């Protein structure tokens, strides 16, 4: 699982300082990540986000013209409400106000400058693992919902066939009642299953876009 996450994950780096970008790129290379894209102009974020479809964004907060807060506001308008796209904020501002504002806009974790390589590697992997788990759960939920929908359709067909048989050769009241009860019970079970599986996981982790 760890190898799969590292080999397949896409990471978007957004920092206006070339030295910071180079440092993060080397860190990712050392950890084995192969798919990453770096931006020094944060105004390109939305375009590259839609093209690159990252699993994680490493975002500097303090940037000219278009800072990290503005970037997160822009992204929020493009992300589905059920999507889990982790944003790891990289900042030298360790104030409580900065952290609260970033969290309110969608940040999932923080790295403090200057970056500690070991800590950064762990935080990056943990966020990617969470997204990987969320995506697997979401995929399973969708498959369960599809299967439940097919089962519900089959029950409806069976009910229709029974009604046709009833019209052609009436069943005894007790027989009809028993069949109706069984079908109603199966329909309720399918409805509950669909409802449960369509509820997104509250904290865990389809590519966005």
Residue 36 has pLDDT above 70, yes or no: yes
Whose tokens are 């403090």? That residue is 112
Rounded CA separation 163/186 (Å)? 17
Rounded mean pLDDT of the chain? 80
Whose tokens are 């969470």? That residue is 130
Residue 34 has pLDDT above 50, yes or no: yes
Q: Edge-to-edge, what's the strand order for the sheet holding 87-91?
A: 35-39, 10-14, 56-60, 87-91, 109-112
Report the pLDDT averaged over residues 140-146.
Answer: 58
Confidence (pLDDT) at 209: 39
Structure tokens at 160: 């229709």
Question: Per residue, what are the HEC states of 43-111?
Answer: HHHHHHHHHHCCCEEEEECCCCCCCHHHHHHHHHCCCCCCCCCCEEEEECCCCHHHHHHHHHCCCCEEE
Which of 176 and 69 is assigned the larger pLDDT? 69
Contacts of 151 (CB under 8 A, 6+ apart): 186, 190
Confidence (pLDDT) at 134: 86
Confidence (pLDDT) at 98: 92
Which of 89 and 152 is assigned the larger pLDDT? 89
Residue 15 has pLDDT above 90, yes or no: yes
pLDDT, one tens digit per residue, over 21-30 is: 999 999 999 9
Percent of the chain with pLDDT over 90: 53
Looking at mean pLDDT, say which of 130-139, 141-150, 175-184 comes out highest.
Answer: 130-139
pLDDT, one tens digit per residue, over 1-13 is: 788 899 999 999 9
Q: Please report the DSSP string for 103-133 in residue order.
A: HHTT--EEEESSPPHHHHHHHHHHHHHHHHH
């Amino acid at each position: 699982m760890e190898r799969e996450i590292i080999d397949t994950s896409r990471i978007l780096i957004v920092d206006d300082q070339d030295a910071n970008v180079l440092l993060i790129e080397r860190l990712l290379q050392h950890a084995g990540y192969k798919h990453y894209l770096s931006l020094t102009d944060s105004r390109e974020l939305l375009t590259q986000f839609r093209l690159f479809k990252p699993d994680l964004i490493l975002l500097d907060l303090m940037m000219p013209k278009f800072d990290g807060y503005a970037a997160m506001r822009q992204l929020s308008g493009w992300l589905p409400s059920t999507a889990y796209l982790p944003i790891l904020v990289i900042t030298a501002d360790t104030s409580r106000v900065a952290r609260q504002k970033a969290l309110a806009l969608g940040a999932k974790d923080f790295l403090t400058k200057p970056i500690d390589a070991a800590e950064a590697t762990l935080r990056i992997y943990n966020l990617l693992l969470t997204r990987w788990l969320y995506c697997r759960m979401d995929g399973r939920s969708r498959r369960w919902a599809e299967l439940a929908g097919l089962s519900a359709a089959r029950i409806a067909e069976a009910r229709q066939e029974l009604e046709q048989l009833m019209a052609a050769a009436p069943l005894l009241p007790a027989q009809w009642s028993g069949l109706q009860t069984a079908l109603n019970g199966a329909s309720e079970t399918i409805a509950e299953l669909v409802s449960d599986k369509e509820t997104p996981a509250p904290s865990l982790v389809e590519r966005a876009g």
